Amino acid sequence: MIALIEEIKQGQIWDFHGGIHPPENKRQSSEFSILPAEIPNEIVLPLKQHIGTTGQLLVAVGEKVLKGQPLTKSDILQCCPVHAPTSGDVIAIEPRTIAHASGLSETCIVIRPDFDDKWCDKVSMSDFHTALPEILIDHIRMMGIAGMGGAGFPSARKLQTALARTKVLIINGAECEPYITADDRLMQEYAKEIIQGVEVLQRIVSPKLTVLALEDNKPEAITALKAAVAGKPDILVQVVPTKYPSGGEKQLIKLITGKEVPAKSIPAAIGVMMQNVGTVFAIKRAVIDGEPLIERVVTLTGNTLREQRNRWALLGTPVRFLLDKHGYEPEKKLERLIIGGPMMGYTVPHADVPVTKVTNCVLVPSRREIAPSQGEMACIRCSACAEVCPASLLPQQLQWYAKDQDFDKCQEYDLFDCIECGACAYVCPSEIPLVQYYRQAKAEIRTRDAEKVAAERARERFEAKKVRMEREKQQREARHKLAADNRRKAMEKSGDGDAIAAAIARVKAKSEQSSTETAVKPAVAAAIARAKAKQAEAASQGQSEPDNSEMKLLREERKRQARERKAQMESIGPEKGADDSSAGSEKKDAVAAAIARAKARKAAQQTDSETPAQNAAVESETAADVDPKKAAVAAAIARAKARKTAQHADVEAPAQDAAVESEAAADVDPKKTAVAAAIARAKARKAGQHADVEAPAQDAAVENETAADVDPKKAAVAAAIARAKARKAAQQTDSDARAQDTAVDNEIVAEADSKKAAVAAAIARAKARKAEQQTQSSTESHSQEKVDVDAEAPSPTPAADVDPKKAAVAAAIARAKARKAAQKKTNDEDK
């Protein structure tokens, strides 16, 4: 590197491949000084004016801002903040058309100037010689400095990558693009300020040599810079031949150092850093003067302007405002507005686009000045584009692949090494817009790469989430395990461990027992299995049916025993049968006891229909001497409670008796006993329902008769309520009886499991109903006769030597105790 530096100091100049010499057209604007900036009526500031990311908004609509106030912020080097060019009010934040080759819109801050041009507080670093490079870089970033040569790369980012790597610092003042003279006039008028900016850069990157490179077509600028660097041996002014595009970064590095920047690499990789002269001047104003980048020099040129000159323009100034200041007269047939030079510039749809940090020229040529294209024609493969390409590429192949959207091939042929200088399109005889194809292909590739990066980041986030969730799951399980261990240890210390272990053992035992019980097959399955075994045995012996002679004999014997038991039970009285049932515990005794209880209840129900009237008459006569009203009410309440308890017991008893009878009869014959048990249950339910229907009516009649002595009106109301309750109970009982009969029929059909059993069950039910109807009719007639006899018979009277009141009370108490004892005994037997 030392030898190279010596060669550079001696004036050694290298050359690069290709290049062209288009007409310069610089004298129209380079012979006059730069005009000062003027404040327009509206300023439109795009949030993004550089290569990189957009900053975060710091202002809102309606706020007042000062000149130099930051409007966006960011903490990364790849983002440059935007500052207010003048003081005024923020009137809108909305999308506007920007100066870009795509002609699309982006978010912009719209400011209405107040023309006071009042500055905010400036932050300068005039003692930059002692400041750390990192502090200077951060200050440059905060001032929004970006490359002003046309690319717009953030200067802070470039300086960061060049730290401790730069051997040669090159200041680009070549300005090779035709028509553009902004850098030329800046070097002529602000040469000393540019050198101060060079010193700031030297403080940051510490190069061994600094070279100010200019083309030989700028004699005034060369003279001014040489005068400014007098006495500074480490700063060299180097003049290079005029050749387009010598102002390109890689091409100028090749001219000054003779080295080529590797593909897909940066100049810092070979120890070189380059900055534009406009960028250097902006760095000087930011560091020494404390002014952010809010204005720049713009070349206004073209034959449609009355005055072609350079002018300071506030960032965000509409281009139309500048053109009006310079007497713009557009052509009627062909109006063209180009941002940049004729080689690398692009047309915009209208003149309301704003000036940005990279707007160095506004070109409005006439039709004769720059002839319009006649249209694209077929390529004749003349190879002129490859000969003039300064990057030594193959423009013809790149255009084919870009047109076919073969982006992999485009990258294989180093598409991104193209600097879009336009030399290939300039020499193409077929007038193929090669640069437009390259720009579109680059945009597509960048979009595709961005999607790949986003997908990769999403995959990484997903995998990280899975790892995190798995880690949290393991941690949670570990915590639960530790907590369980701690609880176990605490229980062992407190002595509760044995109790918990015993409880767990009991639960396990119950679970195993229940699973065993559910696994055991019922008796029906066992009987079917035995039948199948017999059939298989008979089939193996050659018989069509198995030998069931033994089963027939056993069945006949069980029938005979059942008949004997039935005759024996009929000979035993109800009370004795009940006493024997409480003493015995076998199935035979249970069957006998159940039948006896059923007969006793039926007789009691028939007797109850006669008893209430007699009891009411006795009680009413006896209580007349004590207190007619109180005695009648007390007696009625006692009788109602007794009957209600007896009815509740009568409803529950038949079902229990039927269950006992069905269990006892299971040993005789499964099918026939099932049918008989179902019939018995049906009879019991029906008898209980009949008693339930008659009882409420009888109670209501007794209560009405008794309450008649108390109060006629109240007695009438009570009687009506009692009758309504009796009707409601009867209706509910009838509906329940029908549902129960249906359930009984279903049970009978299911248990019979054959046509014969179903027919037998139906016949049995019919006979039972017929017998019941006959019995009921005979009972009703007998009851009617008894009622007539009782009506004719005289009422019982107490003995002459006995107190009538005490005798009546004693009789009522005795009857209540008898009923209570009978109910208790019945409940004990059922249990």
Which position has the token pair 């660097």?
229
Q: Is there a binding annotation on residue 176?
A: no
Give the number of other Cβ atoms within 10 Å of residue 418's Cβ: 22
What number of CA atoms fall less than 13 Å from residue 382's CA on the CB side? 14
Please say whether the beta carbons of 117 and 39 come within 8 A.
yes
Burial pattern 383-404, b for ≥16 Cβ within 10 A else e, equals ebbbebbbbebbbbebbbbbee
DSSP 515-533: HHHHHS--HHHHHHHHHHH
Q: Which tokens sit at 147?
A: 């490359």
Rounded CA-CA distance 474/537 in Å is 62
Pairing of strands 361-363, 295-301: parallel
Has 418 been labeled as part of a binding site? yes
Q: How far is Cα 435 from Cα 421, in angstroms, rounded to an integer?
A: 8
Using only C-alpha atoms, the chain has a radius of gyration, in whole angstroms, of 59
Query: Is 428 one of the annotated binding-site residues?
Result: yes
Measured between alpha carbons, how far is 610 from 587 in angstroms, rounded to an integer?
35
List of E strands, 81-181? 88-97, 105-113, 168-172
Distance of alpha carbon 247 from alpha carbon 215, whole angstroms: 9
User: What are the b/e assignments for 711-738, b being 16+ CB within 10 Å?
Assistant: eeeebeebbeebeeebeebbeebeeebe
Give the pairing type, strands 235-240 and 209-215: parallel
| CA 587 to each of CA 49, 72, 595, 668: distance values in angstroms, whole numbers, following the listed order | 104, 99, 12, 12
504/673 Cα distance (integer angstroms): 44
Say if residue 79 carries a ligand binding annotation. Answer: no
What is the spatial distance between Cα 252 and Cα 179, in angstroms, rounded to a whole number? 19
Parallel, antiparallel, or unpaired: how do β-strands 338-339 and 361-363 relate?
antiparallel
Q: Is 120 annotated as a binding residue?
A: no
State the binding site. 379, 382, 385, 389, 418, 421, 424, 428
State the binding site for [4Fe-4S] cluster. 379, 382, 385, 389, 418, 421, 424, 428
